[in-house]
Amino acid sequence: MTSRGLRRYLVVDDNQPLAENLAEILETSGAEVDVELDAVAALRRLQARRYTALVTDMRMPGLGGAELLAAARQADPALPALVVTAFIGDADLARVERMGVLATLPKPVPVEILLQRLEHARRGAVVWVVCGASGRVNRVMEFVRDRGCTPLPFTPADAPPPGPTPLLAVLADTAEDEAAAWARAHPGVHLIWLLASLEALATALDAELEKFEEGG
């Protein structure tokens, strides 16, 4: 049901023609797609079955995309999600980024990126991105997303977010003593301390993904 079997997506957008077009595009790629025009109906679907990924609009009457994602993760914590929006720069986008998304894409939707991100989406493949006040957090997140994983960003001072056990925790741009303290506080988490290049992260993440595939 997860990464290589039948892929099943739920597309949620109050703009019916757009929702249907996105569904048709995804169906052309061989996936099975359900469409809902509002978040409440979408939640009922999410409680009834498991999807490979959720594709949702942000601004909708009633519940918006951010509220939908929060509720969806209650129902299905392993669910990857991708957001499309006409409002890049919305405050709510920062909120969904913190909840973990595969991408936030603008409208008109760049179809190739949408297909590529969903194709690689892996349920439950979460990577914690633990960054202080860092300029690299965005690049680490993109790196993680390129591999179909969902990055969850937070700072060393925050409590880790709920959800599946992460494949990895990437500690970027953190002082040595702070990194060591964080590691002691979170035993059992596979930790990568990212100093300079992203290569170490690539190697570790690929190895974890291989184990993950075998296990799942």
Nearest alpha-carbon partner for 8 in 39, 49, 61, 42 = 49
**The one segment of 13-21, 122-130, 174-182, 199-207 that binds other proteins by CB under 8 A:** 13-21
Residues 122-161 that bind other proteins (CB under 8 A): 135, 138
Residues 49-68 that bind other proteins (CB under 8 A): none
Least CB distance to other proteins at residue 188 (A): 33
**The one segment of 23-31, 141-149, 161-169, 201-209 that binds other proteins by CB under 8 A:** 23-31
**The one segment of 66-74, 101-109, 123-131, 203-211 that binds other proteins by CB under 8 A:** 101-109
Q: How remote is the C-alpha of 4 from its chain's centroid?
A: 18
Angstrom distance (rounded) from CA 78 to CA 50: 9
3-state secondary structure 6-34: CCEEEEECCCHHHHHHHHHHHHHCCCEEE
Report residue 96: phi and psi, to 5°.
Answer: -70, -30
User: Where on the chain is the footprint of other proteins (CB under 8 A)?
Assistant: 15, 17-18, 21-22, 24-25, 28, 84, 86-89, 106-109, 111, 135, 138
